[in-house]
């Protein structure tokens, strides 16, 4: 007779194409039948892949924390006391904890989560992480047609006071931007015609030139999204190859919107060289490469794109920890600012929806080289 855990594992397998589940067996034990049914419903409703992955990750963490802290699965709706306990366990003062071991997350809860791989940080959580997990907890509660205490004054006050007591500087997703000079150093490490170099060179050039595409967009890129465009004529030179990328659903759009970005020149040549060498004419564009040079049929994982950036940075003699895939996104806008490209034109390619966010890169570039920073 099939157990409930085995049944949930099989159900998770049915949505793995949309929701890659690396820890399927663990999730099958942690999540309830209702949790899995909710995920299946969201897949059918067309929730964005990245949003669904993040929600599942938070749901698994919340269930693991609930079991470790109370010995029971998460209750719906959650009482206010449990929400306050969650805040107390994750937003605490390191100095006070040094003097009072009972302050913050209890040792046994900490050890339990750490043993399962859910907890890696040694200090308090980032306020943004706590708020996001509470927001997803609230969303899951509403999907069950229930009300929770997530908007209670006591909870808001607890978060506000905890953040004020232990201020944290918001860290960038990538410590340093991959601007043009940095990109040139990364590309220099991809100088051969080996498959791995051809693939990584295409990833770097396409991700940067297409407006700093997110790692999930690069990993998920498919041949069906690519359309050859007429070459672009240039004075006193050969026409440049041109290519359109139909983005479809992204972090800030819906599948009904046909957002298009364009590649011209070297990035198109790099992409064509990789696809020709790897004999790719349909399906996923960027794929894994086996030990003996065998090209996988499966798409790269988004995290693999991040690993490639860091590996190439290390090969270039740079500090790998300073760079990540998001550095290509911030680097594109920073480089556009440095070269005097108008902000609206750069945003057409990056597909940023927020002028405030996009302009921050321009402002930083202008401030760093401006007169106000050179008074002495």
Rounded Cα gap, residues 116 and 103, in angstroms: 22
Would residue 174 count as lying in a domain?
no
Q: What percent of the chain has pLDDT over 70?
A: 76
Do 189 and 235 lie in a common domain? Answer: yes
Do 250 and 333 lie in a common domain? Answer: yes
Rounded Cα gap, residues 360 and 366, in angstroms: 10
Mapping DSSP to helix (H, G, I), strand (E, B) and coil, where does residue 69 land? helix
Rounded Cα gap, residues 194 and 185, in angstroms: 18
- Domain containing residue 259: 180-373
pLDDT at residue 355 tops 90: no
Q: What is the predicted pLDDT for the residue at 372?
A: 53
Q: What is the predicted pLDDT for the residue at 266?
A: 94
Query: pLDDT tens across 3-37, in order?
Result: 665 665 555 555 554 444 455 556 666 676 777 77
pLDDT band at residue 344 using 50, 70 and 90 as cut-offs: confident
Question: Taking the complete model, does pTM exceed 0.85, yes or no?
Answer: no
The full length of the chain comes to 376
Query: pLDDT tens across 253-292, in order?
Result: 544 456 888 889 999 999 999 999 999 999 999 999 988 8
Query: pLDDT tens across 147-175, in order?
Result: 888 988 999 898 888 877 765 555 545 56
Q: What is the predicted pLDDT for the residue at 124?
A: 86
Q: What is the predicted pLDDT for the residue at 45?
A: 61
Do 155 and 197 lie in a common domain? Answer: no
More confident position, 350 or 10: 350
Mapping DSSP to helix (H, G, I), strand (E, B) and coil, where does residue 68 land? helix
Mapping DSSP to helix (H, G, I), strand (E, B) and coil, where does residue 295 land? strand
- Which CATH number covers residue 185? 1.10.443.10
Do 206 and 146 lie in a common domain? Answer: no
Mean pLDDT of the chain: 81
pLDDT band at residue 200 using 50, 70 and 90 as cut-offs: very high
| Of the candidates 323, 318, 301, 328, the residue with the CA atom closest to the CA atom of residue 189 | 318
pLDDT at residue 331 tops 90: no
Would residue 242 count as lying in a domain?
yes
Q: What is the predicted pLDDT for the residue at 255?
A: 47
Tell me the mean pLDDT in the region 199-207. Answer: 95
Do 277 and 190 lie in a common domain? Answer: yes
Q: Could you tell me if 189 and 314 are in contact, meaning their C-beta atoms sit under 8 angstroms apart?
A: no
Give the per-residue SS3 of 305-348: HHHHHHHHHHHCCCCHHHCCCHHHHHHHHHHHHHCCCCHHHHHH
Q: Could you tell me if 6 and 35 are in contact, meaning their C-beta atoms sit under 8 angstroms apart?
A: no
| Of the candidates 220, 217, 208, 211, the residue with the CA atom closest to the CA atom of residue 323 | 208
List residues bridging with 226 in a β-sheet: 245
Query: pLDDT tens across 97-134, in order?
Result: 888 888 889 999 999 999 888 888 788 888 888 999 99
Query: pLDDT tens across 37-66, in order?
Result: 777 666 666 566 667 777 888 888 998 999
pLDDT at residue 212 tops 80: yes
Do 193 and 134 lie in a common domain? Answer: no
Do 158 and 191 lie in a common domain? Answer: no
Q: What is the predicted pLDDT for the residue at 19?
A: 47
Do 154 and 199 lie in a common domain? Answer: no
Query: pLDDT tens across 93-104, in order?
Result: 888 888 888 888
Would residue 302 count as lying in a domain?
yes
| Of the candidates 150, 281, 259, the residue with the CA atom closest to the CA atom of residue 210 | 259
Query: pLDDT tens across 65-94, in order?
Result: 999 999 988 888 989 999 999 999 998 888
CA distances from 177 to 96, 126, 325, 346 (A): 36, 22, 9, 16
pLDDT at residue 335 tops 70: yes
pLDDT band at residue 365 using 50, 70 and 90 as cut-offs: low
Do 47 and 195 lie in a common domain? Answer: no
Rounded Cα gap, residues 240 and 209, in angstroms: 14
């Amino acid at each position: 007779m099939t157990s409930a855990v085995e049944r949930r594992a099989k159900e998770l397998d049915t949505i793995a194409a949309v929701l890659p589940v690396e820890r399927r067996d663990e999730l099958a034990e942690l999540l309830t039948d209702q949790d899995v049914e909710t995920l299946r419903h969201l897949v059918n409703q067309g929730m964005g892949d990245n949003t669904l992955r993040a929600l599942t990750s938070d749901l698994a963490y919340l269930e693991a924390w609930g079991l470790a802290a109370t010995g029971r699965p998460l209750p719906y709706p959650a009482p206010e006391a449990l929400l306050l306990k969650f805040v107390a366990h994750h937003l605490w003062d390191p100095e006070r904890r040094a003097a009072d071991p009972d302050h913050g997350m209890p040792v046994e809860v900490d050890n339990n989560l750490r043993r399962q791989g859910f907890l890696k940080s040694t200090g308090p959580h980032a306020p943004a992480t706590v708020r996001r997990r509470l927001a997803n907890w609230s969303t899951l509660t509403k999907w069950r047609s229930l009300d929770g205490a997530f908007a209670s004054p006591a909870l808001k006050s607890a978060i506000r006071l905890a953040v004020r007591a232990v201020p944290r500087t918001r860290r960038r997703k990538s410590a340093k931007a991959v601007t043009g000079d940095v990109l040139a150093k990364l590309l220099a490490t991809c100088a051969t015609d080996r498959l791995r170099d051809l693939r990584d060179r295409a990833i770097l050039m396409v991700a940067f030139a297409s407006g700093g595409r997110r790692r999930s967009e690069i990993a998920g890129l498919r041949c069906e999204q690519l359309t050859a465009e007429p070459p672009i004529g240039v004075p006193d030179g050969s026409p440049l190859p041109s290519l359109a990328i139909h983005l479809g659903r992204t972090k800030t759009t819906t599948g009904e919107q046909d957002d298009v970005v364009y590649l011209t020149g070297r990035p198109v040549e790099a992409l064509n060289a990789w696809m020709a060498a790897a004999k790719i004419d349909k399906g996923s564009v960027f794929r894994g490469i086996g030990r003996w040079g065998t090209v996988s049929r499966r798409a790269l994982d988004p995290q693999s794109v991040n690993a490639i950036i860091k590996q190439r940075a290390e090969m270039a003699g740079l500090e790998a920890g300073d760079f990540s895939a998001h550095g290509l996104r911030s680097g594109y806008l920073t480089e556009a600012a440095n070269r005097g490209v108008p902000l609206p034109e750069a945003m057409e390619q990056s597909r940023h929806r927020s002028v405030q966010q996009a302009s921050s890169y321009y402002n930083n570039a202008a401030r760093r080289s401006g007169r106000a920073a050179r008074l002495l």
